[in-house]
Amino acid sequence: MALGEEVSTTDDPRSGFTVAIVAFAIWAVVLFVWVHVRTVSPTFGLLTALVDIVAITGLTYLSGGASSQARVAYSLVPLTFAFRFRVRLTAVASALVVVAYLVQALSHPSRTRGADYIVLQAGYLTWLGAASLLLAWMLARRTRRIGELVEQSRHLLVDSLGAEERERQGLAEALHDTALQNLLSARHDLHEAFDAVPHPAVARAEATITDTVGQLRDVVADLHPLVLDQAGLEAALSAAGAHAGRLGHFTVRVTCTARPAYPEQRVLLAAAREMLTNVTKYAHANQVDLRCTDRNGWTVLSVTDDGVGFDPASVSNSLTSGHIGLASQRTRIESAGGDLTIDSRIGEGTTVTVRVPSTAP
């Protein structure tokens, strides 16, 4: 705009225009940084928008009034409101823009344009305001529809997880009541047989059954994590981390300050288990940090290891090879309205981050 005013043929005085536009630019940069480092409210957005209208009006007045190049900036205000606020606020902003243009154009001391030109420009701003109103209405309608679909998706996810939990619980109870009890009975019989007739083969069989009982108990615990229902997410994550650490011979530090509601806690626990399993199988890590926190309306779970790392592009190749664990977790997370990101480099470890909307009360 400053360059446009310098090359314009208008003879209107422009004293103070350069100072004003530099001040406005500084204001814009500071505001841009502020809203990216701080969480701001809709009221804050309204106030800054009013400041923008006043600043644009001042710049337009200082640089020629009705025919100023700066008047083009008025067109951005209704569009900004259409994308950011409700329909009524967009209507108010559009009306303010038209009024502000008319006030500065009609009150400018050196009007070089006639009333027809001013009316034409005001009409253009009015038309743009009407288009912004239509856009705001369409966006509001789409947002409501998306909200309904998200809520439906969440209900479907709850139903799906509930069905899955029932199946897992049934399988865990069946394994505990049949296979595990049979193994314990067989181990008891072998122990009595060894006491009667000591033999190395009997001792080896008893040791093998003992190891199998331990493995089967771990499977039962994975299938039906009672600790999540009884002690909460932090305890469940700690148990999963301790189990993975024993298998993979690494230490796990667990930090959990989040309190997500169902089904998010189920999704997060399942994701954490999958990530820890991958660390156990592939990472060759010594230290794993598992964190779960609430951040700006999101529950964020991160699993960081100091292992060998990998190329994230290879994830798609592993899917074609039949390794669907990570892909299935990503699908479940996205069904909950979240996302999963992987940051890894060969030789530099891996960080997997899961975000789901926080719906805890």
pLDDT one-digit tens code per residue, 14-51? 557 778 888 888 988 999 999 888 887 878 888 888 89
- Distance CA(163)–CA(327), nearest Å, equals 20
pTM: 0.55
- The pLDDT of residue 141 is above 60: yes
Q: How far is CA 15 from CA 21, 74, 106, 195, 302, in A?
A: 12, 21, 19, 107, 56
Q: How many CB atoms lie within 10 A of CB 86?
A: 15
What are the tens digits of pLDDT across the range 151-167?
A: 777 677 667 766 766 77
pLDDT of residue 316: 64
- The pLDDT of residue 329 is above 80: yes
Per the prediction, the chain carries an average pLDDT of 83
Phi-psi region of 16 (alpha: psi -120 to 50; beta: other; left: phi over 0): left
Nearest one of 232, 301, 291 to 271, comparing CA atoms: 301
Beta strands across the sheet bearing 339-344: 251-256, 287-295, 298-305, 350-357, 339-344
pLDDT of residue 361: 46
Helix (H, G, I), strand (E, B) or coil at 268: helix
- Distance CA(219)–CA(213), nearest Å, equals 10
Per-position b or e across 53-67, b if 16+ CB within 10 A of its CB: bebbbbbbbbbbbbb
Bridge pairing between strands 251-256 and 287-295: parallel
